[in-house]
Amino acid sequence: LLFPAALRTAAAAATISFSLLAGNAAAVAAVEQPSEICRGQDDGREVEVKAEAVTNEQLVEEAWEVVNEGFLPDAGSRPWSPELWMQRKQDILQGSIKSRSRAHDIITKMLASLGDPYTRFLSSSDFSKMSKYDMTGIGLNLREIPDDNGSLRLVVLGLILDGPAHSAGVRQGDELLSVNGIDIRGKSAFDVSSMLQGPKETFVTIKVKHDSCGPVESMKVQRQMAARTPIFYRLEKRDNENSSVGYIHIKEFNAVAKKDLVSALKRLQNSGASYFVLDLRDNLGGLVQAGIEIAKLFLNKGDTVIYTTGRDRQVQNTIVADSGPLVTTPVMVLVNNRTASASEIVASALHDNCKAVLVGERTFGK
């Protein structure tokens, strides 16, 4: 859909922060046109001018068109073709759509038929919440999973290592049952994120069910809104060698990751580090742009960090390093099966440009 520039920027900033909820398929967000506010020239009073209304049928058709133009099926999605998708549109738009909520429901079911968990619909209210909130304020990502009765369960999809929720005992795969005593069954991930948010250093009480059939536990979690450094480093002397190793563990990619990594690299280099070990194990990702900027620190000018391509293989968007590397000493990158998303961008960019050796296990595969 054609978003105004401000909404487009907000959408991009919000979407990349949901590290494990973004994918290579089309992410569909339909936003109803807001009212415009203009100021009268005569007396300075604000006059509200209503934007042109979008009918329910037009809204459904716009969502259909986004998929038709940009959806890229992969091995995980159901069979898809332009012909099948056109038939879907004709079936849906045979009759009139009486309400906006009915239009939203039709779009949601239409996208669910793709079988792709990363293609989803956001109503205008959900979109506003996604623009406002980065995460939950306690360091976890939630995913909506329908149960056998058609209701929604909220399951922890990702955690910030040593973040507030992780430190309190929440683990990936846990089901969130209540927030401050309020049953959250049937609520969206966006609604519950709003409930979890609050002033820094205040507490929120959550009830979780560990795994699918584990015990239920209530826990008090302290909110931590300020970005904490995800960079931990040390200098290690090698036995029987005249060399030192600069070990750096990146727990996640947040707003301060690049700044703190630059500081760590410089300090370790000044302390005599002969080579670096970059530990990305259990790093589930975070801000994609932070991962891209960190990869650039190790690459030569013009090296490819990442490129994106769609159905038209002749059209691709390539991001390259715009300056030389901060360090030129050898680098080893540690990875495991929980190295995901932005972490995989960094690992693959360094590996494919012959800037690092990868050691460990096959990564998550985002």
Measure the CA–CA gap between 323 and 301, rounded to whole angstroms: 5
Report whether 128 contacts 101 (CB < 8 A). no
The answer to whether 48 touches 37, Cβ cutoff 8 Å, is: yes
- Name the maximum alpha-carbon separation found in the chain: 83
Cα within 13 Å of Cα(228), Cβ side? 14
How far, rounded to the nearest angstrom, does the alpha carbon of residue 259 sit from its chain's CA centroid? 21
124 is catalytic: no
CB count in 10 Å sphere of residue 278: 24
Structure tokens at 339: 């190295």
Tokens of 60: 């459904």
- The continuous run of DSSP H or E covering 145 comes out as strand 140-146
341 is catalytic: yes
Cβ-contact 137, 196 below 8 angstroms: yes
Q: From the candidates 193, 341, 343, 348, which is the catalytic residue?
A: 341
Separation of alpha carbons 336 and 230, rounded Å: 18
Q: Which of 129, 187, 251, 366 is catalytic?
A: 366
Catalytic residues: 341, 366
